Amino acid sequence: MVLSTLEELSLATDVLVVGGGMAGAWAATSAAEAGAKVVLVDKGYCGTSGVTAAAGPGHWWVPPDPPAARDAAVANRVTSGLGLGEADWMYRVLDQTWRTLPTLARHYKFGVDDEGRVNYRAVRGPEYMRALRQQVLSHGVTILDHSPVLELLARSDGSIGGVRGQRRQDGGRAYRIEAGAVVLAAGGTSFLSHLLGSRTNTGDGYLMAAEAGAEMSGMEFTAAYTIAPAHSTMTRSMAYSFATYYDADGRELDIPFGPDQTIRLARALQRGPVYCSLHRLPDDIKARMHTISPNVPLVFDRWGIDPYRDRFEVTLHNDGTIRGIGGVRVHDVDGRTSVPGLFVAGDNASREKVAGAISGGGNVNSAWALSSGVFAGRAAARLARSAKRSGGRLRPLGRVGREPRRVAKTVDLAALRDGVRAEMHPFEKSLFRTGQGLAVSARVLEEFWTELADHADTGTIASRETAALLATARWSVATAAARKESRGLHRREDFPSRDSGLAVRLLSGGLDQIWVAADGAPVDAKSGQLEAAS
């Protein structure tokens, strides 16, 4: 990449939002509504980048009356969350989503249900994100598109006071933004899988938060696999609730819809090709598929396949923390982290207290992205009003991929990225885990990390993305090794049952030295081993 010779762009704002997906757009809106001056920076183009723009997301949508309905929804989620969810957080997310989503009506035309009532719950992803961009701009927010953040900046007291990054469309022109508070809404990562819309989601927010001293939580819950037609990126799975599966010889497979479907399908795929038919899909859903999820039938239309009659080959893609639940530890529902001045929202934050140990799917995840964005934006605006300005004296926190620990030399970033995929995607390594397999993955990833940390000095977007992918993979493997049980998205072949003593959230962190500890327990700095919660 040829770097720009232009002078560094320097800006100042009250609240800086990193990421222009659903959570980032709602965070920018709520911060501006609270009276803050807001800048939003996006690695791509706010309104089209990220996984929401390619989806047809529904929201966790439960009316406040009768109260028993919400009580039942929360109770069900607490139970299915297997000990890691918290009812109070769920109620707050449900309430915020219910009150906030309809306010987008000035920019988005909501559909109606069969009885003629406005349907706020389900939205059309491309139009939804376009409307969110319009809403953000209508509040006077400054948007810097195609402007990846490379590192956070800290004040002398350790609080976060801004970022540095590059402007892709200015030939890599550097920029620096000083802010009273920063909201990281840069998304999660699928470890470069084929989840549609996830190409820019490389875990950048996790890396930057860790460099500032924040902890991760729930990083073992990354084995969220989603079905898709083979040789495609179309991981929109609603229709597969009615799927029938067959092996290569045409024999029907016993893979019913339910919590074990992914496991059964993965086992079948390990034996050979698997084919699918959607002939059982109800007629009313077939008739609306082009409206509900227009990208889904598009794949079949291009291939000349009638999925309601013909059989087609399928596969599973790993969605990592995007449909999984790990992320930066959130200290309160307002998105505060352990680092002053730093907030997180959406996939950048751990969803454990809302989703539990299982995937939030589309509805809980969407409600969390919206509500956590609103909460974090408001809280950041409140803090920014009282934050002390640094007077330009800010310390850069970026490390790996920017300054080599040893001798600088060329590092094959593409090979390191392929190495991450090779450790995080195969079923036998990520879905069906064993202590022995995790130990091997840990060694491989440590070698990659050492290579990057010791020698990479480019400071480019690619080197920082690679560092983020490696750091995230290492936290995932380390926490999976520490959780010696099977719970929700995390499965251990050598520990197939749940351990009641492990109904706790596992924290992780560190860069050169990874640590794991139970929430509320001290970290053993020497061994790095999991300690019991107090």
- Per-residue model confidence as pLDDT tens digits over 406-451: 999 999 999 999 999 999 999 999 999 999 999 999 999 999 999 9
pLDDT tens-digit profile of 294-349?
778 888 888 999 999 999 999 999 999 999 999 999 999 999 999 999 999 999 99
Domain ranges of the chain: 9-218+321-396, 225-318, 414-518
Instruction: Identify which of 166, 203, 167 has the alpha carbon closest to the alpha carbon of residue 184.
Output: 203
Least confident of 286-295, 329-338, 513-522: 286-295
Burial of 218 (0-12, 13-18, 19+ CB in 10 A): buried
- Measured CA to CA in angstroms, residue 45 lies from 65, 222, 248, 366, 422 at distances of 39, 26, 42, 20, 29
Q: pLDDT tens digits for 179-208?
A: 999 999 999 999 999 787 888 999 999 999
pLDDT at 524 over 60: no
| C-alpha dist (Å) from residue 197 to 44, 135, 505, 531 | 11, 21, 29, 38
Provide the pLDDT for residue 49. Answer: 86
Rg value, the chain, Cα: 22
**pLDDT at site 533:** 44
Position 138 confidence tier, pLDDT thresholds 50, 70, 90: very high
CB 107, CB 4: distance < 8 Å = no
- CA-CA-CA-CA torsion sign (34, 36, 42, 45): positive
**Amino acid type, 132:** L
* CATH code for the domain defined by 414-518: 1.20.58.100
Q: What is the CATH number of domain 225-318?
A: 3.90.700
Tens of pLDDT, residue by residue over 229-256, are 998 888 777 788 899 999 999 999 999 9
d(CA 240, CA 223): 19
pLDDT at 525: 39
Q: What is the pLDDT of residue 528?
A: 43
Q: Would you give the distance in Å from CA 209 to the centre of its chain?
A: 14
The predicted model gives 346-363 an average pLDDT of 94
Averaged pLDDT, 81-86: 96
Evaluate if residue 532 carries a pLDDT over 60: no
**Rounded distance, CA 62 to CA 520, Å?**
33
Q: How far apart are CA 275 and CA 329, in angstroms?
A: 40
DSSP 219: T
Residue 3: per-residue pLDDT: 52
For residue 379, pLDDT beyond 50: yes
Give the span between the Cα atoms of 439 and 454, in whole angstroms: 22
Mean pLDDT of 460-466: 94
Closest CA to 201 of 477, 444, 472: 472
| Planar angle of CA 73, 96, 102, nearest 5 degrees | 105
| DSSP per residue, 20-71 | -SHHHHHHHHHHHHTT--EEEE-SS-TTTSSSGGGS--B-----SSSHHHHH
CATH number of 9-218+321-396: 3.50.50.60
Both tokens of residue 251? Answer: 């024999």
Comparing 322 with 526, the larger pLDDT belongs to 322
Residue with the bigger pLDDT between 521 and 353: it is: 353
* Residues sharing a CB contact under 8 Å with residue 283, sequence separation 6 or more, in sequence order: none
User: CB under 8 Å to 167, separation ≥6 — which residues?
Assistant: 4, 9, 144, 146, 147, 173, 174, 175
What is the C-alpha separation between 125 and 364, in angstroms, rounded? 16
Strand duo 38-41 + 9-18: pairing: parallel
Q: Provide the pLDDT for residue 523.
A: 45
SS3 261: helix
- Please write the tens of the pLDDT for every residue from 108-131: 999 988 888 999 998 988 999 999
DSSP 8-state assignment for residue 191: S
Mean pLDDT of 90-98: 98
Distance separating alpha carbons of residues 380 and 182, to the nearest angstrom:
7
Amino acid at 28: A
Predicted structure pTM score:
0.94
Position 391 scores a pLDDT of 63
pLDDT of residue 102 exceeding 90, the answer is yes
**pLDDT for residue 68 is more than 60:** yes
Question: Which residues face 312 on adjacent strands?
Answer: 276
Non-local (6+) Cβ contacts of 71 within 8 A are none
Angle at 361 between CA 21 and CA 67, to 5 degrees: 100
Label residue 468 by pLDDT band (50, 70, 90): very high
Outline where 387-512 has alpha helix (H).
413-424, 435-455, 461-482
What's the CA gap between 29 and 165, in Å, rounded?
A: 22
Question: What pLDDT is attached to residue 6?
Answer: 83
